Amino acid sequence: MTTTSGLEVHGLNAGYPGRAVVKDAELAVQAGQVASIVGPNGCGKSTLLRAVARLHRPDSGTVRADGADIWHLSRRQAARRIALLPQTPRAPEAVTVAGLVRYGRHPHQGLLRQWSRADELAVREALEATGTQDLAAERLDRLSGGQRQRCWLAMALAQHTPVVLLDEPTSALDLGHVVDVLELVREVAASGRTVVMVQHDLAAAARYSDTVIAMKDGRIIAQGSPRDTVDEALVKELYALDADILRAPGDASPVVVPRSRTVL
């Protein structure tokens, strides 16, 4: 399960005092791929993502991003390899969209390296990639939810990391904006980056991901292509739900049709 680039996690255990949350996690996602972590509430998805992002120190195990062990790097060095968009990001009051996206360049700044033309180019490219260039002068808090989410994604892209982590990037969005964001995620991966996101919508994860990583009770119980991984047995094990699995027209991705709740 070794990759020369992308993201690798080996033997990762993480939790809080007296409570193990992530147990012996093993995963690998190649550069240019999208992986979705799915599973019931409280199964450890966000804790795993935070440990990968170096925001939560694991009890044991390794995380390698683009070939480097992130826990052997400085915080700034790690931030040049992994960008995280949390579930509920917060911005300074009255910040403009351009101001927000510029924050993505902070890991590249330092005493001997101030704002440069390369930084300005990275910001412009991120705004263009997310279709937010016309919003650059607008205040973030005056935009719609879908617009704000694209702006946050622009900030993550401006960080110019080979690995991008997204914690429920489509939560609270309507269906149209969900599709916009997920198609943008596919474009980010097509540029050669590795994208790992936490997803509650199993059907969306199956449609837009190369790999599905299923978690239950802190453990990864299945991972692989959506067609090979998402089936009736997995849905029942994850969600205690009986469901039919249909195939979407065009790409034959799995579509989950719930039937009834399983009596436990």
Give the pLDDT confidence of 186-232 residue by residue, as tens digits: 999 999 999 999 999 998 999 999 999 999 999 999 999 999 999 99
Cα–Cα distance, 127 to 97 (Å, whole number):
9
Q: Give residue-wise pLDDT tens across range 90-127.
A: 888 889 999 999 998 988 776 556 778 888 999 999 99
Q: What is the mean pLDDT of the chain?
A: 90
- Sequence-ordered list of residues with C-beta below 8 angstroms from that of 202, at least 6 positions apart, any chain: 38, 230, 235, 238, 256
Q: Say what the pLDDT of residue 235 is.
A: 94
Is the confidence at residue 248, as pLDDT, over 90? no
Determine the residue type at 45: K
The pLDDT of residue 96 is: 95
66: its two tokens: 């683009």
Q: Which spans in 10-144 are helix H?
A: 45-52, 75-79, 97-102, 117-129
Sort 35 into a burial class: Cβ within 10 Å, 0-12 / 13-18 / 19+: buried
The confidence band for 1, taking pLDDT boundaries of 50, 70 and 90, is very low
Q: Which pLDDT value is given to residue 91? A: 84
**Total number of residues shown for the chain:** 264
What does the pLDDT read at residue 260? Answer: 78
Categorise residue 254: left if φ over 0, alpha if ψ from -120 to 50, beta otherwise: beta
- Could you give the domains of the chain? 1-81+162-264 (3.40.50.300), 90-160 (no CATH)
The whole-model pTM stands at: 0.88
Higher pLDDT, 38 or 251: 38
Q: pLDDT, tens digit, for every residue of 228-247?
A: 999 999 999 999 999 999 99
